[in-house]
Amino acid sequence: MSTITPERHEFQAEVKQVLDIVVHSLYTDKEIFVRELISNASDATEKLRHTQITEKDIFDADLDLEIQVTSDEEAGTITIQDFGIGMTHGELIENLGTIAHSGSKAFLAALKEGGERNENLIGQFGVGFYSVFMVADAVKVYTRSWQPEGESLCWSSQGDGAYEIEQVEGERRGTRIVFTLKDEYKDFAKKDKLEGIIKRYSSFVQFPIKVDGDELQTVQALWLKSKNDITEEEYKAFYKFQANAFDEPRFWLHFAADAPISINTLLFAPTENMEGFGFGRMEPGVSLYCRKVLIDSDPKNLLPDWLRFVRGVVDSADLPLNISRESMQDSALIQKLNKVITKRFLKTLEEKAKKEPEVYNDFWKSFGIFLKEGVTTDFTHRDQLLKLLRFESSYTEEGSTTSLSDYLSRAPEGQKEIFYLSAASRKAIEAGPYFEAFKARNIEVLYLYEPIDEFVMNHARAFEEKNFTSADSADIDLDAIAPETDTDKEEALEQASADELCKFIKETLGEEVSEVAASDRLVGSPAMIVNNDKMMTAQMRKMMKAMQQQSGEGDAAGEPPVKLQINARHPLVKNLAALRGSNEALAGLISEQLLDNARVAAGLMEDPSSMIQRNYKILEQLSSK
């Protein structure tokens, strides 16, 4: 056996630069070195598998393709061995002594631009193999190429300016990396810690991984398989594993695309809305992989915020593996992914709504709130989202909903608006004064029960060019849309006495009302408050007021005056017109009471105490007769 003295090589200048930063960096995410080394081992094994297809003569042909990790906690050493393609002498110099690969190149390019902030750059890129020098001060790479004429070699370095290569004896095919951890990082040699890190980053590596002899449970990277080869049970099990979920997925979306970017995606809609349970705001849960290796488990901009309930995996072979969290946030690539995936997810929802309406409606009940949030925050997807909205209406049964398209398909020719009313319940809406006119003309009204709903209407403004209009708006001409169906209605006050009564009520109420007018929109109620400003519905007023109070402004500005409409056909109104001549004081009290009752119906009454006092006065007068 000839002893050959180790040959000493200087690292290429760029490598020295990288190493210098790696060794001295304060980068906190040290554990990624495990991911880098395991993915190199996996790449090398994968390459061997390809080589086996075309080459007959392969060294150590019968080795099992697995990755073995062993550690010695006491000595603080870790060994990562694969049985992949290995490296020849030339390849060692080329691959580990120079910077030929993309990740570190990008790192260096950024380094040149970055100037002083170099410290942080390592965190932004990860630097593949060299990352091991963050935690180790002596690294040996034993390797034997698959090529029959190869030799057993050992590459070693302390991470300073140089490395050595020497011949050794008896290596198996592949690569064995042995390194001694720096004192402060000895913890990484603990078996359970090591296992934990591997599970986190490398659960989907397709070769068995053994840690100190025990095979880790790896999971199939379902998203890369063809749909036809996956059972429903496998999808469900994968969801539970990936999302750490206790519920079942409602449905999933599994697709691959090549343009404009190569992606394999598997997304799940959960059954339970955890935010609905009051668990606080959900964190995004779609993980980003590059060829089965985890890049980021919860990237922030991969999907729009309103899709934060979605779970699953996005894998893009176009991502540089070495890219990492910090740099990804606003990369153009992430934006491209975001666009493609969001569009597909919305399309899936549309299809569900069409083909499996029960599935969609159930989904809507739990997750509709997120789509509503989307309408108010995401202009890009607004039109697609509007098609997915569902509301109860005066045409649906309690508990069933309609889409906006279906609403429009039922609307009479002349109807230019989509009408809605907000209140806490169907009962409250149908008992209120605003619904009467619509009911009398069979015009459909959407029922909005959630505080966010009016924001949705205000942000979207229109659907298919029909304006969303609150049914309590002042300027709605319902007769232009449809005539009242009930023809034998009460006789109304004469125009002149109606006008006089309105004038009287206005004088009595003073600044509290901006206008009092007779209206034929009312059927069974004597009066109602209407809104001049389409945006400023009663619900909005209430919300604005609550916000003012919160911000300490109180209601210093006072109540904005409201517009009161009276029903000239109502017996109370007709009586009031007559009462004015005989008992003006009582007529005044009743006028005030009319306004307050209308306020209650509009949800604008906050403190009823003065109303109650007045009510007693009225009752007192009536009971004395």
- Closest distance between Mg ion and the C-beta of residue 37, in Å? 8
Given ligand ADP, Mg ion, none, residue 96, with its beta carbon under 5 to 8 Å by kind, binds ligand ADP
Three-class secondary structure of residue 440 per DSSP: helix
Structure token digits, residue 267: 């997304």
- Of 33-41, 240-248, 441-449, 564-572, the segment contacting ligand ADP by CB under 6 A is 33-41
Site string for ligand ADP, 266-305 (x = CB under 6 A): ----------------------------------------
Long-range pairs for 57-62 at CB < 8 Å and ≥24 separation?
A: 57/148, 58/146, 58/148, 58/173, 59/144, 59/145, 59/146, 59/147, 59/148, 59/150, 59/173, 60/144, 60/146, 60/172, 60/173, 60/174
* Spatial distance between the Cα atoms of 609 and 617, rounded to a whole number of angstroms: 13
Dihedral sign for Cα atoms in the order 285, 291, 295, 300: negative
Nearer to Mg ion, 207 or 419 (CB): 207
Residue with tokens 């989907």: 204
- What the block records as the tokens of 49 is 């598998």
101 binds ligand ADP (CB under 6 A): yes
Among 18, 19, 22, 44, interactor with ligand ADP by CB under 6 A:
44
Nearest CB to Mg ion, comparing residues 40 and 70: 40
Under rule CB under 5 A, residue 394 binds Mg ion: no
Residue 419 Cβ vs ligand ADP, minimum distance, rounded to whole Å: 60
- Helix 609-623 vs helix 584-602: angle between axes, to the nearest 10 degrees? 140
Task: Using CB positions, name the residue nearest to ligand ADP.
Answer: 128
When binding is defined by CB under 6 A, the residue of 76, 84, 270, 374 that contacts ligand ADP is 84
Describe the chain by its helix, strand, coil percentages, rounded to 5: 45, 20, 35
Residue type, 21: I
Contact 372, 338 (CB under 8 A): no
At closest approach, how far in Å is the CB of 45 from ligand ADP?
A: 8
Q: Could you say whether residue 128 binds Mg ion (CB under 5 A)?
A: yes
4-63 positions binding Mg ion, by CB under 5 A? 40
E-strand stretches of 409-561? 417-422, 446-448, 462-463, 466-470, 513-518, 527-530
**Site string (54-83) toward ligand ADP, x via CB under 6 A:** ----------------------------x-
Which phi-psi region, left, alpha or beta, contains residue 532 (left: φ > 0; alpha: ψ -120 to 50)? Answer: alpha
Report the site for Mg ion in 484-523 (rule: CB under 5 A).
Answer: none
Q: Which CB sits closer to ligand ADP, 321 or 562?
A: 321
Binding of residue 96 to ligand ADP (CB under 6 A): yes
Residue 131 touches which of Mg ion, ligand ADP, none (Cβ within 5-8 Å per kind): none
Residue 46 binds to ligand ADP (criterion: CB under 6 A)? no
| Residue 34 C-beta: closest distance to Mg ion, Å | 12
Nearest residue to 319 (alpha-carbon basis) of 47, 130, 103, 34: 103
Cβ at position 184, least distance to ligand ADP in Å: 23
> Which region, judged by CB under 6 A, interacts with ligand ADP, from 38-46, 188-196, 266-274, 549-557?
38-46
Any contact of residue 223 with ligand ADP (CB under 6 A)?
A: no
State both tokens at 98: 């120079």
- With CB under 5 to 8 Å by kind, the binding choice for 69 among Mg ion, ligand ADP, none is none
What distance in Å separates the CA atoms of residue 239 and residue 237, rounded to the nearest whole number? Answer: 5
CB of 102 to ligand ADP, least distance (A): 6
Indicate whether 202 belongs to the interface with ligand ADP (CB under 6 A): no
E strand map for 158-284: 162-167, 174-181, 209-211, 214-215, 249-257, 263-270
Q: How far apart are CA 357 and CA 352, in angstroms?
A: 6
CB of residue 128 vs ligand ADP: minimum separation in angstroms? 2
Q: Which of 19, 27, 32, 103 binds ligand ADP (CB under 6 A)?
A: 103
Q: Which is nearer to ligand ADP, 315 or 373 (CB)?
A: 315
Query: Looking at residue 319, what DSSP letter applies?
Result: S
Q: Are 170 and 15 in contact (CB under 8 A)?
A: no
Could you say which residues in the range 317-346 bind ligand ADP, by CB under 6 A?
321-322
Indicate which single residue of 70, 71, 175, 242 sits in contact with ligand ADP (rule: CB under 6 A): 175
- Position 40 contacts ligand ADP (CB under 6 A): yes
What does the angle CA 340 – CA 344 – CA 348 come to, to the nearest 5 degrees?
175
Exposed/middle/buried for 624, CB within 10 Å: 0-12, 13-18, 19+? Answer: exposed
Q: Say which residue the tokens 């006028």 belong to.
A: 591
Residue 41 is a binding residue for ligand ADP (CB under 6 A): yes
Q: What is the size of the binding site for ligand ADP (CB under 6 A)?
A: 18
- If the CB atoms of residues 293 and 302 are measured against ligand ADP, the closer one turns out to be 293
Interface positions, 117-146, toward ligand ADP (CB under 6 A): 128-129
Find the part of the chain contacting ligand ADP (CB under 6 A) among 96-104, 303-311, 344-352, 514-522: 96-104
By C-beta, is 131 or 180 nearer to ligand ADP?
131
Contact yes or no for 319/295 (Cβ under 8 A): yes
| 158 or 301: CB nearest ligand ADP | 158
Helix (H, G, I), strand (E, B) or coil at 225: coil
Closer by beta carbon to ligand ADP, 33 or else 360: 33
Question: What do you get for the CA distance between the two ends of the chain, in Å?
Answer: 129
Residue numbers at the binding site for Mg ion (CB under 5 A)? 40, 128
Residue numbers at the binding site for ligand ADP (CB under 6 A)? 36, 40-41, 44, 82, 84-87, 95-96, 101, 103, 128-129, 175, 321-322
